[in-house]
Amino acid sequence: MITIDTNIIVRFLTHDNAKQYKKAFKIFNSNEIFITDSVILETEWVLRFAYEYKPADICNAFIGLFGLKNIHLSDPTFISQAIEWHKTGVDFADAMHLTRYQQYEKLYTFDKKFSRRAKGLTDCEVVLP
């Protein structure tokens, strides 16, 4: 099994550089690949800011990518939950955090939008101090 950096995923998903896309495609077609949570977070950020992907586009790209038989994640259930919450308007990074904190009573944040959008998603209440 191998692991890959964000730029390999971005080339694979965006096809923005033909030469690098072909190399990324070869990697994806010939290896069992583990993708770390940090690379997933960075990929979402790059797609959103550098490529101006909308949340729905990011979710669809991730669903397709993570659905490949040779892709392995640290916890597919948590990643899937983060994608679902992102579809509802929760920032992707916040959704990733919240999936990991479900066993806790409260998550404190200064982010009013996150607190509002997380209401009712999990037993971990996202609250303002």
> Number of folded domains in the chain?
1
What would the pLDDT profile of 23-33 be if each residue is shown by its tens digit?
Answer: 999 999 999 99
pLDDT band at 75 (very low <50, low <70, confident <90, very high): very high
54 phi and psi angles, rounded to 5 deg: -85, 160
In a domain, 18, yes or no: yes
Predicted structure pTM score: 0.90
Angle at 128 between CA 125 and CA 124, to 5 degrees: 10
Q: Chain-wide mean pLDDT for the chain?
A: 96
In a domain, 49, yes or no: yes
Kindly state the average pLDDT of the residues 26-49: 97
In a domain, 10, yes or no: yes
In a domain, 68, yes or no: yes
In a domain, 55, yes or no: yes
What would the pLDDT profile of 78-117 be if each residue is shown by its tens digit?
Answer: 999 999 999 999 999 999 999 999 899 999 999 999 999 9
In a domain, 44, yes or no: yes
In a domain, 116, yes or no: no
In a domain, 114, yes or no: no
- Structural domain of 20: 2-74
Q: Which two tokens stand for residue 113?
A: 């939008």
